[in-house]
Structures are given as C-alpha cells and as structure tokens.
C-alpha cells in the first residue's frame, strides 16, 4: 500500500476544539418528501438558488457550480437543486433534441472549498431527538443524487468533478460519483467520519472499492485522514492533477485531448458500469447500515461531531481573512 495511507491521523483536523456558546448554523427542517421532487425546469434556462448553471452548446459542455456559501455543506435545498440539474440534463439529451451535450462538469464557487459534506448539525439534532425518519429522508436523498451521478444521469454524457478546495465526507463522496475526478494540487480530500465513531455511508466504499480496490478503500476510510490531491493521484483516486488555479483549464485541456476519442471514452465508461455495476439497492442497504450506526452514537461522539463543525468554521474564517 502506498505511503499516504500510513499517515492515519496526521492531518485529520488536529486543531479541533470544543464548541462553547458560539452560534452555529441551525438547519431548517427538511422539506416534506412530496416537495423534494424538482419541478420540470426549462432545461436551457435553469435558474437555481444554490447551483450556477452554464450551458456551452458550442463545446457541448454543461457546467454546474455550487454557488458561494458561508456553510458549504450538503443541505436538502442543495440536493433539490442537484436533482433539478439532473432533470434538465435528461431533458436536453432526450431523443430528438438538437442541443446535445458530451460532458458535464461539477465544481464549486466557494474559495478553497468544494464541499464539507453532510449537515452534521442536522445529524446530531436528529440523533438526539431520535428522529430516525428525518435522518433517513436526508440520507436517501443523498444517494438518489449520487446514484444519478454514477449513472451519468442515464445519458451518454461523460461526467467530471472539478475539485479546487476541501472535499470532505459527503462532499468527497459526491466528487467520487463522477466518471473523472480532476483536482488542483492543493485540494484536500478525506472521510473524517470515523473520528466521531461513524463511517461515510453515502457511497464512499462503493465508489472507492471499485476504483482502487476494497483493501485500499477500507484503509482510506478507517484512517479518518485528510489527503492532498497529489497523494490521492498517486493512489489512483484523482484522475487528473492540475496546478493550483488552473483547474478549469485542466478540464478544458482534458476535454480537448479526449474529444477525438470521445466515442471510445463514452463506450468505455458505459462498459465499466456494465462490468462492475453499482446497483441502487447496494447504496440503499449501506445507507440503512449507516442509519443504524448513526442512531447508536453517544453524546461524546456527537460532541466530536460538533468539534469538526467548529474546525470547518475556523477553516472558512481563516480563508475569509486572506
């Protein structure tokens, strides 16, 4: 096993401290299930509160970037926008529509952060209140989104994640769900859930084990460490390594190099999904295991969860001062 996985807790938020009486963001209750399904959007004029969409029909690229956020985590509102994006892509790619696309790119506009992952404050609140149904609704919405990503939205698109900052927990899982992961060298990615006695339950093991093997996936998950994009590139997790500040150019270069072989690449990703399929039932079963484990967390585990939230807030605060 390459050296980076041996550094188990070397960089895993060593500055985490207890939260005192400071204010932390209180998430709104998730919307009722019947309100989660997105409305039928106009696929070429999509205005979303949490995702910035740009359609380049000349280059046949659909760009989607999570808008800047003070708390860049996965909320039900963001998940709803992600579902709207997926619906708009399918509408554009419908047979008979002339405006076809070849590539989808998912990025973030928050400086230094791709996404911090799950709404940990909401998790802790559900666990303390024993709200299993509320936590399950959130978790199922997450896997609905990542499954759509992993299936390329059931279209012939090649999908690309562009990571230009921290991608942690569910944010990392989301990036892993695309065909190609492009990351700038200074980007950091990891799965810190084990630090508060849980595991990443929204696809991490499914995606990583298919990409780098089960043993390497388990070591990465159980380490709880945060790795640089360069380390993950050596492990085979990151597909394209970009210089800092050049992530978008790296995506454009990758697409330019691949375009002449687009038909072959598209077929290869389709073949990969057939040879090593990811059944939706697998994601659902893993989430159910995650839910049982989450509801078994004790108060000292939840306090560790809140320390991670505090560390993330300090990370954003230091970024704002630069």
In a domain, 107, yes or no: yes
In a domain, 21, yes or no: no
* Helix-then-strand count for the chain, H and E: 11, 10
Could you list the residue range(s) of the whole structural domain that residue 190 is in? 27-246+259-320
240 HSE (CA, 13 A, CB side): 24
The total domain count for the chain is 1
In a domain, 5, yes or no: no
CB atoms near residue 255 (< 10 Å): 19
Instruction: List helix spans (H) across 177-298.
Output: 204-212, 214-223, 229-235, 247-258, 262-275, 280-295
In a domain, 113, yes or no: yes
In a domain, 60, yes or no: yes
- What whole-number distance in Å separates Cα of residue 271 and Cα of residue 251? 23
- What whole-number distance in Å separates Cα of residue 73 and Cα of residue 110? 11
pTM (predicted TM-score): 0.85
In a domain, 33, yes or no: yes
CATH number of the domain that 145 lies in? Answer: 3.90.226.10
| Total number of residues shown for the chain | 322
In a domain, 4, yes or no: no
In a domain, 61, yes or no: yes
Which residues, in sequence order, are CB contacts of 116 under 8 Å at separation 6+? 71, 72, 73, 166, 168, 169, 171, 312
pLDDT tens by residue, the chain, 322 residues: 444 443 333 333 333 322 222 232 333 333 333 334 444 445 556 789 999 999 999 999 999 999 999 889 999 999 999 999 999 999 998 865 656 899 999 999 999 999 999 999 999 999 999 999 999 999 999 999 999 999 999 999 999 999 999 999 999 999 999 999 999 999 999 999 999 999 999 999 999 999 999 999 999 999 999 999 999 999 999 999 999 999 999 999 999 999 999 999 999 999 999 999 999 999 999 999 999 999 999 999 999 999 999 988 887 776 655 5
Tokens standing for 146?
Answer: 């990542």
């Amino acid at each position: 096993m390459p050296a980076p996985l041996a550094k188990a807790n070397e960089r895993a938020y060593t500055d985490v401290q207890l939260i005192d009486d400071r204010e932390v963001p209180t998430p709104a209750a998730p919307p009722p299930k019947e309100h989660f399904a997105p409305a039928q959007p106009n696929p070429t004029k999509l205005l979303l509160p949490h995702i910035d969409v740009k359609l380049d029909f000349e280059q046949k690229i659909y760009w989607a970037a999570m808008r800047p956020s003070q708390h860049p985590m996965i909320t039900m509102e963001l998940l709803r926008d992600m579902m709207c994006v997926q619906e708009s892509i399918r509408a554009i790619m419908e047979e008979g529509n002339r405006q076809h696309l070849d590539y989808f790119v998912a990025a973030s506009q928050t400086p230094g952060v791709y996404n911090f992952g799950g709404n940990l404050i909401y998790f802790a609140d559900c666990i303390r209140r024993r709200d299993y149904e509320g936590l399950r609704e959130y978790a199922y919405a997450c896997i609905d989104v990542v499954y759509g990503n992993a299936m390329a939205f059931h279209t012939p698109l090649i999908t690309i994640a562009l990571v230009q900052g921290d991608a942690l927990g569910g944010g990392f899982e989301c990036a892993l769900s695309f065909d190609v992961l492009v990351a700038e060298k200074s980007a950091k990615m990891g799965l810190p859930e084990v630090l508060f006695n849980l595991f990443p339950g929204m696809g991490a093991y499914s995606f990583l084990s298919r990409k780098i093997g089960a043993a390497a996936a388990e070591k990465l998950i159980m380490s709880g460490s945060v790795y640089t994009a360069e380390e993950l590139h050596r492990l085979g997790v990151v597909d394209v390594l970009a210089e800092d500040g050049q992530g978008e150019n790296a995506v454009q270069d990758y697409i330019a190099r691949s375009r002449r072989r687009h038909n072959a690449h598209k077929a290869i990703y389709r073949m990969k999904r057939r040879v090593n399929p990811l059944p939706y039932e697998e994601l659902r079963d893993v989430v159910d295991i995650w839910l049982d484990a989450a509801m078994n967390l004790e108060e000292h585990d939840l306090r560790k969860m809140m320390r991670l939230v505090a560390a993330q807030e300090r990370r954003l605060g230091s970024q704002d001062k630069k």
